[in-house]
Amino acid sequence: MKRIFSILAIALTMFLGLSFSQPAFAEQTSGQKVFSSNCASCHAGGTNRVVAAKNLKKDALEKYGKYSVEAIVAQVTKGKGAMPAFGKKLTANEINLVANYVIEQADNGWAKS
């Protein structure tokens, strides 16, 4: 009887854990979709095909003062140098999603891209 309760408790814990983690997964997937459609041609895998040193890897983002959602949102919205502005092409929500995606991928070494 104790074994049945233990199994049920473990199953319930796993179910609840997956239920609460779905929104974060959905946001990451949306950010990845926006990134793939608008950014990957120059920044696939966190690279920068135009200015190699200014890539999206964590150390470069930190070096150039871009390691925050706010800094990435500003860069994507206004553009700078060779990077075009996306403020009129993407919604504020899409820009926020892609900024969060970039930070998450930088933290993970772009292993999932």
Residue 14, marked binder: no
Residue 62, marked binder: no
Coil, strand or helix: which one is 83?
strand
Answer for the pair 24, 89: CB distance below 8 angstroms, yes or no: no
How many angstroms separate the CA atoms of 20 and 33, rounded? Answer: 22
Coil, strand or helix: which one is 44?
helix
Residue 1, marked binder: no
**Residue 105 is encoded by which pair of tokens?**
């991928």
Residue 43, marked binder: yes
How many angstroms separate the CA atoms of 57 and 55, rounded? Answer: 6
**Bind-site residues for heme c:** 39, 42-43, 83
Which residues line the annotated binding site? 39, 42-43, 83
